Amino acid sequence: MGTCSVVIVSYRTGPVLIDSLRAALDQEAVDTVVLVDNGNAAETRRAIDTLAAADGRLKVIRGHGNVGFARGCNIGVKAGTGSHILLLNPDCVLRPGVVTRGLQVLAGNAEASALTVRIENTDGTEQRGGRRNLMTPWTCLVEQFRLDRLMPNHPHFQRLNLNETEPLTEITPVECISGAFMLMPRAVYDRVGGMDEDYFLHVEDVDLCFRIQETGGSILFVPDVSVTHVKGTSRVFPLVVEWHKSVSVSKYFNKHFRPQYPDLALRLISLAIFLRLAVRAVPLTFSWLAERFGAAPAPTKR
């Protein structure tokens, strides 16, 4: 079955990071937890160091600055020692036995390259983005404008995100999973070249799934075990996050869809992405200011 190294990349995460680290260290099959600290508050760093002093399996890598999520993952994977790698978000808390169950599923499905489990919100509902169809310009259009309602059973009108579809009760192949919880053999990660460091934040997990599919690998969704993804704990200004997301989506389309789409179409897609960001900038800023200073939040367009 092998062992697992958990890789967590953290930047200004907050106290939930300690819960995430403790839950990872409590997993029986985990031989190492590698924290790539891209920058955290002094109080959080002290709590991390206390935990590392108490458990030698926790490796903390610092001093490189905020190098982004993709590069951080690659740094962490190199420092891990397990036969398998679990990429885990710093605000994601593992339930008991999750890693062991994941390794058992991979051992019993030799054709599988990676898997995820049910990723839940704090209220127990399935989180958006945990299982998805592969992101293409068309699936994003269907998702954005809910074109699936026109022809709900047509294979070309399927949504990008699948959390609102019928809940799965059996292990099922999916096209794309989230970097919040992504378990795979180290050999698979190395074979596809790890995370593409051209992405600073967001979409690097989608890109990795795309390359796994390109090499003939399959990805599984395991519904009988789950993790809690807290979200909303980052101290980063949300417009900065949305900017990086927009840049990454544009890079992803240009990288993977240039043969299928003419340059003009890709430029128009990129323009639409950044126009959407511009429209969202004001409500995002007001919501962040309202939360920070205790006023009533402004409505956010989605």
Amino acid at 282: V
> Taking each helix axis from N to C terminus, what angle separates 16-25 and 42-54, rounded to the nearest 10 degrees?
10
Amino acid at 97: G
The answer to whether 90 and 9 are in contact (CB under 8 A) is yes
Per-residue model confidence as pLDDT tens digits over 95-112:
999 999 999 999 999 999
Per-residue model confidence as pLDDT tens digits over 2-20:
999 999 999 999 999 999 9
From CA 232, how far away is CA 190, in angstroms rounded? Answer: 31
SS (H, E, C) 202-265: CCHHHHHHHHHHHCCCEEEEEEEEEEEECCCCCCCCHHHHHHHHHHHHHHHHHHHCCCCCCHHH
Residue 232 predicted with pLDDT over 90: no
Q: Could you say which DSSP state residue 14 is in? A: -
The answer to whether 108 and 137 are in contact (CB under 8 A) is no
Residue 113 predicted with pLDDT over 50: yes
Per-residue model confidence as pLDDT tens digits over 262-275:
999 999 999 999 99
The answer to whether 113 and 39 are in contact (CB under 8 A) is no
- Phi, psi values for residue 249, rounded to 5°: -60, -45
Residue 301 predicted with pLDDT over 70: no
Q: What is the mean pLDDT of residues 134-158?
A: 89
Write down the residue that tokens 């990288």 correspond to. Answer: 255
What's residue 235's pLDDT? 72
Three-state DSSP class for 294? coil
Write down the residue that tokens 């200011």 correspond to. Answer: 289
The answer to whether 184 and 85 are in contact (CB under 8 A) is yes
Burial label, 5 (beta-carbon count in 10 A; 0-12, 13-18, 19+)? buried
pTM over 0.85: yes
The answer to whether 255 and 207 are in contact (CB under 8 A) is yes
Residue ranges of alpha helices (H) inside 109-217 are 137-145, 186-191, 204-214
Q: What percent of the chain has pLDDT over 90?
A: 81
